[in-house]
Amino acid sequence: MAGDKKAKAKAEQAKGKAKETVGRAVGNERLEAEGRTKQSKGDARQAKEKAKDVFKH
């Protein structure tokens, strides 16, 4: 289960980075901001999963 959540966090980060890059390339500030937000959510999810791992061991 934890592996699935970690993978989801990584995927969310990657999608966010791609969205941010596309937004920057086409000059769409809203798309760029959405990408940064999605990356942040992925970062937060990953940090949460890492914290859980620390307490498991």
- What is the number of structural domains in the chain? 1
Give the model's pLDDT for residue 26. 97
Radius of gyration over alpha carbons of the chain, in Å?
Answer: 13
pLDDT in tens, the chain (57 residues): 568 888 999 999 999 999 999 999 999 999 999 999 999 999 999 999 888 888 876
Contact present, 28 and 35 (Cβ < 8 Å):
no
Q: Within 10 A of 26 (CB to CB), how many other CB atoms are there?
A: 9
Give the model's pLDDT for residue 41. 94
Residue 22 belongs to domain spanning: 2-56
Give the model's pLDDT for residue 56. 79
Which class for 28: exposed (0-12), middle (13-18), buried (19 or more C-beta within 10 A)? middle
